[in-house]
Amino acid sequence: MKNPDKSPVIDQPASGILEIPRPTRSEVVGVIRAAREYRLVAICPIPAGDLLFRIEGVQTTTPTRYSLQIGENLHVDLSGGHSTEEILDRYFWRFMNHSCAPNSLIRDREVVARRDIQPWESVTFDYNTTEWDMAEPFSCGCGSVDCLGIIRGLRYLTSSQRERLGTVASHLRRHMPGECRVPAGTSQA
Ligand SMILES: [Zn+2]
């Protein structure tokens, strides 16, 4: 999972200038590079509930600094050897930052607007809503009044902190307060 403080090193000229968003396969988001950091931003107004894009990548059982958890023991990651071009065009989800007050959420592999998103706004989601136990915890600087500080995954959140998240990914729902734990293979009466 991506740590906002450590953007991946991609072979591009150093620049502190805000660049025109580079289009991706999605028609509503683009990647900008500012202060030597890549960021995914909206390039048009995106209404709440709209699909932003679908996350592409290989499935793995080993979480990494950049992987995204999509199942109990399943993560999406990049296989090695992709060119910068490919990462920017197809695997741009890697540049989504965490926020404790995010503007999008992840449903399986789909990224959906949680509220209206304005052009140039960074596309963010709450890593605690997808990750159970992060490979590389980090200190959050989102500035939200509800900021949790160190982000390590849902595993480390108290009951009331979990409640405040709202929707979490389906593989984490059984860890939410008040959720019934239905054993696999049985149906709920
Ligand atoms: Zn925060």
- Provide the CATH number for the domain around residue 44: 2.170.270.10
pLDDT band at residue 185 under the 50/70/90 scheme: low
CA of 151 to the centre of ligand 1 (A): 8
Establish if 13 belongs to a structural domain.
no
Q: How many domains does the chain have?
A: 1
pLDDT band at residue 1 under the 50/70/90 scheme: low
Domain that holds residue 84: 22-173
CA of 13 to the centre of ligand 1 (A): 30
CA of 186 to the centre of ligand 1 (A): 38
Calculate the average pLDDT of the chain.
85
Establish if 10 belongs to a structural domain.
no
State the pLDDT at residue 189. 42
CA of 183 to the centre of ligand 1 (A): 34
Establish if 65 belongs to a structural domain.
yes
CA 157 and chain centroid, separation: 18
Distance CA(166)–CA(183), nearest Å, equals 23
Between the ranges 58-67, 70-79, 130-139, where is the mean pLDDT highest?
Answer: 130-139
pLDDT score of 57 more than 70: yes
CA of 50 to the centre of ligand 1 (A): 24
In sequence order, the β-bridge partners of residue 139 are: 150
pTM: 0.80
Nearby residues for ligand 1 (ion, Cβ within 5 Å): 100, 140, 142, 147
CA of 145 to the centre of ligand 1 (A): 8
Establish if 46 belongs to a structural domain.
yes
State the pLDDT at residue 21. 65
The number of C-alpha atoms within 13 Å of 127 and in the hemisphere containing its C-beta is 35
Establish if 8 belongs to a structural domain.
no
Name the residue type at position 17: I
pLDDT score of 121 more than 60: yes
Establish if 184 belongs to a structural domain.
no
Establish if 189 belongs to a structural domain.
no
